[in-house]
Amino acid sequence: MSYTIVPRLAQFGADIDRVHFINEDERELSLADDRIEKIIIRTGAKLFVLDPIQTYLGGANMNSANGVRPLMKQLGAVAARTECAILLVGHLGKKGGKAQYRGLGSVDIPAAARSVFTVGRIDVDDNMRAIVHNKSNLSPPGASLAFGLDPAGGFTWLGEYDITIDELLSGKKKPETQFAKARRLIETALAKGPVFSADMMQMAEEQGISAKTLNRAKDALGVISAKRGVQWYWELPIEVSYTEVGHDGQHSQDSQPCDGHDASMTSLTILAH
């Protein structure tokens, strides 16, 4: 623990004085262990993490619903009583199939959770990962997010990323349609302000986007054409806000860190990777 997790937390700027661990030197921890609730109450913790969940089943059969369901129910009750979010980190099996069946162990593990995220590698860059919100009982699912794990720079949020759970699990993104490509071009080009309409047409032509497709995307985004002097400009409506992560892994200056998922929510959350 002191050689792996603590140095990483320090690298990311965590306040180590606010991070607590349960000592397992004399007794191994399990999901049913009363030390979980005791340390949450004693420290006033708002987030409790178990990684990986398969290690803390206390001898229960992780492939049996009867084995894991009582443990998950008990842990959920602890989260409710303490108003602490409990994050369970699991690992995905190598076999294919739907997301809910890819986790190691019984399907009752993700079924008992209020929220499930899946983390995986993005094929455009070895140092890029995406997190996809593939189950949410308490609110609409959040947008998929990309982050970097650069050996030198460490962890960096890269903003929203257009990827589905099926694409993430398969390791391949579906080819981008010309319409989606046109939308991305317009949003990226206009994110910083108005652009000459002639320049937009030229950029589209250089990317193999037809004028018809470009205008369809323009109408879908509500782009405004405005004449200033003798020049025509394209500009986004005032109410449009945009965050872009390109397929090359670069993000715009407007990219925002992840703040859409409430870490204080009283729930069980599964994070699989």
Q: Tell me: the pLDDT tens digits for 61-114? A: 766 767 788 888 899 999 999 999 999 998 876 655 555 545 555 677 787 788
CATH of the domain at 199: 1.10.10
Nearest alpha-carbon partner for 106 in 53, 33, 31 = 53
What pLDDT is stored for residue 249 in this prediction? 41
Residue 242 is assigned to a structural domain of this protein: no
- Given a cut of 90, whether residue 48 has pLDDT beyond it is yes
What pLDDT is stored for residue 266 in this prediction? 37
Bridge partners, 86 (sequence order): 48, 268
Asked if 269 and 109 touch (Cβ cutoff 8 Å), the reply is no
CATH of the domain at 92: 3.40.50
Average pLDDT score over residue span 203-230: 90
* Pair (51, 149) in one structural domain: yes
* Pair (217, 149) in one structural domain: no
Task: Give me the percent of the chain exceeding a pLDDT of 70.
Answer: 76
Asked if 160 and 245 touch (Cβ cutoff 8 Å), the reply is yes
Residue 76: HSE in the Cβ half-sphere, 13 Å Cα cutoff: 17
Nearest alpha-carbon partner for 240 in 182, 187, 185 = 187
Residue 16 is assigned to a structural domain of this protein: yes
What is the pTM assigned to this prediction? 0.58
Residue 250 is assigned to a structural domain of this protein: no
Nearest alpha-carbon partner for 171 in 138, 226, 132 = 132
Joined together, the tokens standing for residue 5 give: 């997790």
Nearest alpha-carbon partner for 145 in 37, 268, 256, 42 = 256
Q: How far apart are CA 90 and CA 270, in angstroms?
A: 7
- For 253-264, the pLDDT digits (tens) are 443 333 333 333
- The DSSP output letter for 4 is T
* Pair (101, 155) in one structural domain: yes
Structural domain containing residue 11: 5-174+256-272
- For 6-43, the pLDDT digits (tens) are 888 887 788 999 999 998 888 999 888 999 999 999 99
What pLDDT is stored for residue 212 in this prediction? 93
* Pair (92, 16) in one structural domain: yes
What pLDDT is stored for residue 202 in this prediction? 93
- For 166-181, the pLDDT digits (tens) are 888 877 666 677 888 8
Residue 240 is assigned to a structural domain of this protein: no
What pLDDT is stored for residue 95 in this prediction? 59
Q: How far apart are CA 183 and CA 217, in angstroms?
A: 5
